[in-house]
Amino acid sequence: MWREWKTEWMKVRYRKIGLIVMAFFGLIILWVCWILSRNDTEMMEDGYQLLFMNLPLIDTILMPTMIAMLGSRLCDAEVKGDTLKLLCTMEKKGRLFDMKVLTGAVYLAVFVVLQVVQIFLTGRLYGFPGTAKPVWYVYFVLQVYTVSMLILLLQTVLSFFYENQILPLAAGLFGSFVGLFSWFFPSGHPLKYLFLWAYYSELCFMGQDWDRVTRISTFYDVPFQFPVLGLVLMLLLAGYLVGKQLFLRKEI
Amino acid sequence: MLLTCVRMEHKKLRHSHLWLVFLVIPLIPTIMGTGNYLQNLGLLKSEWYSLWTQCSLFYSNFFYGPLIGLYCAYIWRVEHLNHNWNQLMTMPVPVWEVFLGKLCLALECTVFLQLWVWVLFYAAGKIAGLHGMPPFEILIWLLRGSIGGMGIAALQLLLAMIIRSFAVPIALALLGSIIGFLLSNGGYGLFWPYSLMLMGMNANKDTDMVGDLMGFGISTAVFLLLFAAAGIWYLNKKDITAS
């Protein structure tokens, strides 16, 4: 297993995946700075809440396309190079799928950890009063990481199945749209359960009231939706099993 | 010869699933925008113009750029596969015609995409109960968005030609669009190609965003010429590598 893991990292060497992921992270930093520059000092009182509300929204727009790129890039060596038949004679077919998903999972983990560090440092640099509740960080990681992993599984399967990478990438763009759309629906709306990308908004643990007259936003805690998290984890497990099965059955 | 190049590019796109993306992706912002419009009828009172603010909001800010990126990436993908670069570069066709042929096709795709968005917008207005036809101005805004998109098309073609991955240029287009959204809000839209398209389309505005039509035209022309020239120069000077 260690050998396959190492091979996977050798395959992505020089592919600059990390650079693109970092470019997305750089854009998130810029976006957050822009949001903070538009808010007055009163809003900074709720600075952490503002971040925990806005970062998942930004992730909903960016991550589906970024994950589509990640999935496509990870599978490029096999799809573009037509090396599946060669590889599957040397390593177990299922193991190859596992390694792809695991490699993607590492990139996503780094991306989410960087965002956590970003929240912490932004709070310090902008001088937000008080500290963020530690549990918010945990909820944030659960919210962003589990849903992103679910999307990664879908994208990996799509990238393996379609030699023409238009469909996986279009699915990523479609996901960004649908995810963004889902933020307009109230929590618990049936449509939110239909699309994977909508779970970012469904797992949001921060609410916002905007007063039209005073133009002041007030943030409030929303109980974290553990049943929804349970559903996401179940979908993750089912998605992994189905995806792997599909990959095992794939004619090469 | 240029026309032949364009015709050949058309042939290369046959049997791709590009039409599916072309038809389906713009449906979502139209549904989103119309839903938003219907929920805020008390506030949005300028009928077709108000509906336009909602429909164009997400489409132009975040997704028109990546869609152009997707077309351009696909146009070059055929060359990146199966050693086609070798064949392309040994054709008795000047490289500037090869590049411009692909650029013409990209522009054609973006113009047709805008016209399709207009059809969807019209249908959405009718579903939302708006009377008459949409103002002619909105069609002009859409087409002006395509003119703004020309610089993006040239840049995306250049990126898709250099970067051999299909996915990376599309991801870069999304990054560029979001930076464009931030810059146009800061009043620096004319200096960034990805902002021009959303300024041209008057995204999320019912009054004209392009105050200085001359500046918009010059900026679009400069970006288009700059990136097209860079693409042709690259094809002329760099050795190709066929995978």
Q: Please report the pLDDT score of residue B243 as a whole number.
A: 56
Chain B: residue nearest A29 by CA?
B179
Whether B24 and chain A come into contact, CB under 8 Å, resolves to yes
- The confidence score (pLDDT) of residue A43 equals 67
When the pLDDT of each residue in chain A is averaged and rounded to a whole number, the result is 88
Residue B182 near residue A31, CB atoms below 8 Å: yes
Residues with Cβ within 8 Å of residue B29, at least 6 apart in sequence: A177, B55, B56, B57, B58, B59, B63
For residue A27, give how far its alpha carbon lies from the nearest alpha carbon of chain B (Å): 7
Q: Answer whether residue A36 shows pLDDT above 70.
A: yes
Q: Is residue B243 part of a domain?
A: no
Residues of chain B with pLDDT under 70: 204-211, 240-243
In this predicted structure, what is the pLDDT of residue A184? Answer: 82
AA identity, residue B79 = E
- Is B37 domain-assigned? yes
- The whole-number pLDDT of residue A143 equals 95
The alpha carbon dihedral of B211, B215, B217, B222 has a sign of: negative
Closest residue to A165, CB basis, from B66, B166, B178 = B166
Q: If you compute the radius of gyration of chain A from its CA atoms, what whole number of angstroms results? A: 19
The span from the first CA to the last CA of chain A, in angstroms, equals 22
CA B23 to chain A, closest CA, distance in angstroms equals 11
Structure-block tokens of residue B66: 């990546």
pLDDT of residue A23: 92
Does position A42 have pLDDT exceeding 70, yes or no? no
Q: Which of A27, A72, A166 sits opposite B16 (nearest CB)?
A: A166
Q: What is the mean pLDDT of residues A185-209?
A: 87
Contact B175 A173 (CB under 8 A): no
Q: Give me A94's structure tokens.
A: 């299922």
pLDDT at A130: 80
CB contact under 8 A, B166 and A178: no
In 3D, which of B218, B214, B220 has the Cα closest to residue B195?
A: B220
Closest residue, chain B, to A79 (C-alpha): B81
Residue pairs between chains A and B whose CB atoms are closer than 8 Å: 102
**Which pTM value belongs to this model?**
0.85
Q: Which of B39, B163, B168, B185 would best serve as a mutation to test chain A binding (most A beta carbons within 10 A)? A: B168
Give B148 to chain A, closest Cα distance, Å. Answer: 21
Cβ of residue B242 closer than 8 Å to a chain A Cβ: no
Residue A52: its pLDDT value, please?
92
pLDDT tens for A84-133 read: 777 777 778 888 889 999 999 999 999 999 999 999 999 989 888 888 88
CA distances (Å), origin A200, targets A137, A179, A190, B222: 15, 7, 15, 40
CB < 8 Å to A15, chain B: 165
Residue A150 to residue A240: CA distance in whole angstroms: 9
What is the pLDDT confidence band of residue A138, given thresholds at 50, 70 and 90? very high
Q: Does the beta carbon of A183 lie under 8 angstroms from any beta carbon of chain B?
A: no
Handedness of CA A145, A150, A153, A155 (dihedral sign): negative
Identify which has the larger pLDDT, B206 or A47.
A47
CB contact under 8 A, A69 and B170: yes
> What pLDDT is attached to residue A214?
72
Number of domains present in the structure of chain B: 1
Q: Which of A23, A165, A168 sits opposite B175 (nearest CB)?
A: A23
pLDDT for the residue B6? 85
The pLDDT score that the predictor gives to residue A68 is 93
Task: Give the per-residue pLDDT at A185.
Answer: 81
Measure the CA–CA gap between B111 and B101, rounded to whole angstroms.
16
Domain boundaries, chain A: 2-249
Instruction: Give the chain A residue whose CA is nearest to the CA of B243.
Output: A81
| B242: in domain | no
Is the distance from CB of A211 to CB of A218 less than 8 angstroms? yes
Q: Which domain holds residue B48?
A: 2-237
* B176 to chain A, closest Cα gap in Å: 9
* pLDDT for position A201: 92
